[in-house]
Amino acid sequence: MYKILKAEKLAEKIYLMDVLAPRVAKHCQPGQFVIVKMDEKGERIPLTICDYNREAGTITIVFQSIGASTTKMAELKEGDCFEDFVGPLGCASELVHEDIEELKKKKIVFIAGGVGTAPVYPQVKWLHEHGVDADVIIGAKNKDMLILEEPMREVAGNLYVTTDDGSYVRKGMGTDVLKDLVNNEGKKYDLCVAIGPLIMMKFVCLLTKELGIPTVVSMNPIMVDGTGMCGACRLQVGDEIKFACVDGPEFDGHKVDFDQAMKRQQMYKTEEGRAMLALTE
Ligand code: FES
C-alpha cells in the first residue's frame, strides 16, 4: 500500500498529492509517469510525475477530476492509501541525457497549459538544479485554474503567466506570449517544450514551426491504461507509428499528427468508437 502524506486541492477539480513510494522516488526522472490504482477493482490511471523527493521517498502527483475514477480519487485524504503505485514508467525527458555544459548554452522555453503545468515543473526544477534557467510560460483558463505559480517562479529563469479570459496578469494564450517574446522582445530560443491539452500543443507547434524553434511535446493526455496494451495512445509521428506510454510520452512536436490524435481521443471515449478503432487498425 502507498500512503498519501499530503492531499491538497490546487484549483477547481485539480488536486495535488504527496505519496510515499520510496522505490519510485529513488529511480524516477523528469518526464516519466506512474500508474496509480485506488483499490483492487480500481481503474489504472497514468499520471506524469510532478515532483519527487529521493530522501523523503515521496512522489508528487497532480490530477484533474474528469471521470468517475479521478473524481473518486479526489476524495482520498491524507493517511489514505493507493493499492498500487507503479513506476517510474515511460522515457525520461531527453534533457536529462544531454551534456550539461551544452544545455547551459541553450535558450529553452517551456509552455505549460492548465494541468500540463505539473509535468513541466520537474523538468524546469531539474534544469535549475543543474545551473540552467529556462523561461516558462504558464497559461490557464482563468485565475482560479492557475496552478503551481509560486513553486515555478522559484525554479524558472523568467516566468510569464497568461489567462484566456484576462482575469490574471494578461489576456491570451501561451502562444501569444511566445510570439511577443520572440517578435517584440527579441528573444531567441533553441528549444521549446510544450505540455498541455492536445489542441494547445498543436497550436504551439504550428507557431514554433513558423519561428523555427525545435519543439518537444508530451502526449500524456492520450494515455488510458499506460501499459502498451489498450492501444489508446497510438499515434503517428512522422512516418512512424508510436505508442505514447511505451515510446514516449515525449515526442518531436513538429512530427506529431495532432489532428489524428485528437480524433482518436474523441473516438476512444465511447465503446462504439473503440470498436470502430479496433476494426480499422
Ligand atoms: Fe494504452 Fe498506451 S495507454 S497502449
User: For residue 264, what pLDDT is reported?
Assistant: 84
How would residue 160 be classed by pLDDT, with cut points 50, 70 and 90? very high
Q: Which residue has the cell 474528469?
A: 66
Would you say 239 and 217 are in contact if contact means Cβ atoms under 8 Å apart?
A: no
Instruction: Count structural domains, the chain.
Output: 3
User: Greatest CA span in the chain, whole angstroms?
Assistant: 54
pLDDT, tens digit, 9 for 90 and up, residues 132-148 = 999 999 999 999 999 99
Residues 197 and 109 in one domain: yes
Residues 245 and 272 in one domain: yes
The DSSP annotation for 171-219 comes to: BS-HHHHHHIIIIIS----SEEEEES-HHHHHHHHHHHHHHT--EEEE-
Closest atom of ligand 1 relative to the 246 alpha carbon: 2
Q: Is the pLDDT of residue 85 over 70?
A: yes
Query: In testing the pocket of ligand 1, which one of 86, 91, 230 has its CB within 8 Å of the most ligand atoms?
Result: 230
Domain range enclosing 199: 94-210
Q: Is the pLDDT of residue 277 over 70?
A: no
Angle between helices 258-267 and 271-280 (to 10 degrees): 130
**Which protein residues touch ligand 1 with a CB less than 6 Å away?**
223-233, 243-245
Query: In testing the pocket of ligand 1, which one of 35, 220, 223, 250 has its CB within 8 Å of the most ligand atoms?
Result: 223
Closest atom of ligand 1 relative to the 230 alpha carbon: 1
Closest atom of ligand 1 relative to the 243 alpha carbon: 2
- Cell numbers of 32, please? 516519466
Closest atom of ligand 1 relative to the 244 alpha carbon: 2
Residues 77 and 109 in one domain: no
User: For residue 43, what pLDDT is reported?
Assistant: 86
Residues 73 and 99 in one domain: no
Reduce the DSSP state of residue 12 to 3 states and report it. Answer: coil
Residues 243 and 272 in one domain: yes
Q: Taking residues 259-280, report their average pLDDT.
A: 73
Spacing, Cα 157 to ligand 1 middle (Å): 35
85: phi > 0 → left, psi -120 to 50 → alpha, else beta; which?
beta
ipTM of the complex: 0.98
What is the rounded distance in angstroms from the CA atom of residue 189 to the CA atom of residue 182?
8
User: For residue 280, what pLDDT is reported?
Assistant: 64
Residues 227 and 199 in one domain: no
Reduce the DSSP state of residue 17 to 3 states and report it. Answer: strand
Domain end point (choices 89, 110, 131): 89
pLDDT, tens digit, 9 for 90 and up, residues 92-107 = 999 999 999 999 999 9
Q: Is the pLDDT of residue 273 over 80?
A: no
Percent of the chain scoring above 70 in pLDDT = 95
pLDDT, tens digit, 9 for 90 and up, residues 178-201 = 999 999 999 999 999 999 999 999
Domain end point (choices 178, 210, 242): 210
Residues 120 and 78 in one domain: no
Beta strands in the chain (DSSP E): 2-11, 14-20, 33-37, 45-53, 58-64, 81-82, 84-89, 108-113, 135-140, 158-163, 191-195, 215-218, 234-237, 240-243, 250-252
Residues 131 and 104 in one domain: yes
pLDDT, tens digit, 9 for 90 and up, residues 221-239 = 888 888 888 888 999 999 9
pLDDT, tens digit, 9 for 90 and up, residues 7-47 = 999 999 999 999 999 999 999 999 999 999 998 888 889 99
Residue nearest to atom 1 of ligand 1 (CA): 230
Would you say 116 and 62 are in contact if contact means Cβ atoms under 8 Å apart?
A: no
**Mean of per-residue pLDDT scores for the chain:** 93
For the chain, give me the number of helices (H) and strands (E)? 10, 15
Domain end point (choices 89, 120, 142): 89
Q: Is the pLDDT of residue 54 over 90?
A: yes
